[in-house]
C-alpha cells in the first residue's frame, strides 16, 4: 500500500481580478496521485500599497490556520511561506507565465534557511548563470545555488528582465512587440 502524505502550505501570489498581492492556502495529499485544494484566503486591501513582508504573510497564514482549521491543543501548527513568484511582466499579461521565476524555500542547512531561484527545470547560481536542476550536489554546488531569502529575491529580480521566452524575446521586447501589434491592428 502506498504511503500517503498530507500537508498544508501557504503561497503568496496575486489576485487575478484586482492584481493585488494575495495569499493562497494549498492543502495537499500525496499518494499514488497528487491532489491539491487551492484557495485564496487573503487579498491586500487597496489602501495598503507596500508589498507584504514575510512576517505579514506568516501572520495572515497563522490567523487563517487558527480560524479555519481549528486548534488541536496537542499539536503545534507551523506556517511558512514556501515560494515567491518574480516576473518582469505584470500578472495580467497573457504571457506572464512564460517569464515566471520562482524563489523557493528549499530547507535549512547548517542553521540557515535556504532558498533557490528556478525557472522550470533550470536553477540560477550566484553569478546569474542558469543550469539544469539536478539532485546530485554537494556543499560546493549548494554554496553557489542556495541563498538567504534577501539574496535569492535580489538575484531573481536582477534576472527577471533578461528571461527569454516567446520566440527568444525579453519581457521588454515582448511588451514592445505587443504595442506594435496593437498599433498595427488599428
Q: How many domains does the chain have?
A: 2
Q: Using 50, 70 and 90 to split pLDDT, how confident is the model at 108?
A: confident
- Whether 73 and 88 map to the same domain: the answer is no
Residues of the domain holding 6: 1-81
- Whether 47 and 120 map to the same domain: the answer is no
The grid cell for 14 is: 496575486
Residues 6+ apart with CB under 8 A from 83: 11, 12, 102, 103, 104, 105
How would you write 120-135 as a 3-class SS string?
A: CCEEECCCCCEEECCC
Cα–Cα separations (whole angstroms), residue 43 to 61, 85, 151: 12, 16, 26
Other CB atoms closer than 10 Å to residue 98's CB: what's the count?
18
129-175 confidence digits (pLDDT tens)? 998 887 667 778 888 999 999 999 999 999 999 999 878 999 999 99
pTM: 0.60
Amino acid at each position: 500500500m502506498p504511503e500517503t502524505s498530507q500537508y498544508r502550505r501557504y503561497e503568496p501570489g496575486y489576485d487575478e481580478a484586482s492584481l493585488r498581492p494575495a495569499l493562497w492556502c494549498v492543502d495537499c495529499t500525496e499518494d499514488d496521485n497528487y491532489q491539491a485544494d487551492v484557495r485564496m484566503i487573503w487579498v491586500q486591501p487597496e489602501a495598503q500599497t507596500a508589498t507584504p513582508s514575510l512576517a505579514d504573510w506568516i501572520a495572515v497564514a497563522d490567523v487563517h490556520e487558527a480560524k479555519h482549521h481549528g486548534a488541536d491543543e496537542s499539536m503545534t501548527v507551523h506556517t511558512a511561506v514556501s515560494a515567491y513568484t518574480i516576473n518582469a511582466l505584470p500578472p495580467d499579461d497573457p504571457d506572464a507565465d512564460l517569464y515566471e521565476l520562482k524563489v523557493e524555500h528549499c530547507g535549512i542547512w547548517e542553521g540557515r534557511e535556504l532558498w533557490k531561484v528556478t525557472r522550470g527545470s533550470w536553477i540560477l547560481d550566484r553569478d546569474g548563470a542558469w543550469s539544469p536542476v539536478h539532485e546530485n550536489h554537494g556543499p560546493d554546488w549548494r554554496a553557489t545555488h542556495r541563498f538567504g531569502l534577501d539574496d535569492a529575491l535580489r538575484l531573481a529580480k536582477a534576472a527577471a528582465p533578461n528571461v527569454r521566452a516567446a520566440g527568444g524575446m525579453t519581457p521588454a521586447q515582448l511588451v514592445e512587440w505587443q504595442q506594435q501589434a496593437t498599433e498595427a491592428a488599428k
